[in-house]
Amino acid sequence: MLRDAEHRLGLFGAISKDIRDPRRPDRIRYRIDELIRERVFAMAVGCSAQDDVDRLAHDPAFRAAVWNRTGDAVADERLASQPTQSRLISILN
């Protein structure tokens, strides 16, 4: 339900387009909108600590909800780690 609502509103894409990403483009694996979506969805399911994202990063249903990617990447890849989420917090600050 969260994914459908967010997808219809385009909320995280709209937010992320105005955020300057200081990371090196050749090292970016997760887009800002994906990182925000992962963090907000984790909080929505009761995971308030950044360490919880490491557990959720391997959950197939959570990956499908967070990623807007096509193909098998959703099933094969994990989501961002806790250190990557910490970098997101630094970027947003």
Q: Is the pLDDT of residue 72 over 80?
A: no
Is the separation of the CB atoms in 14 and 21 below 8 Å?
A: no
User: Sign of the C-alpha dihedral, residues 56, 60, 64, 69?
Assistant: positive
74, pLDDT greater than 70 = no
pLDDT at 77 over 80: no
- pLDDT reported for residue 58: 80
pTM above 0.85, yes or no: no
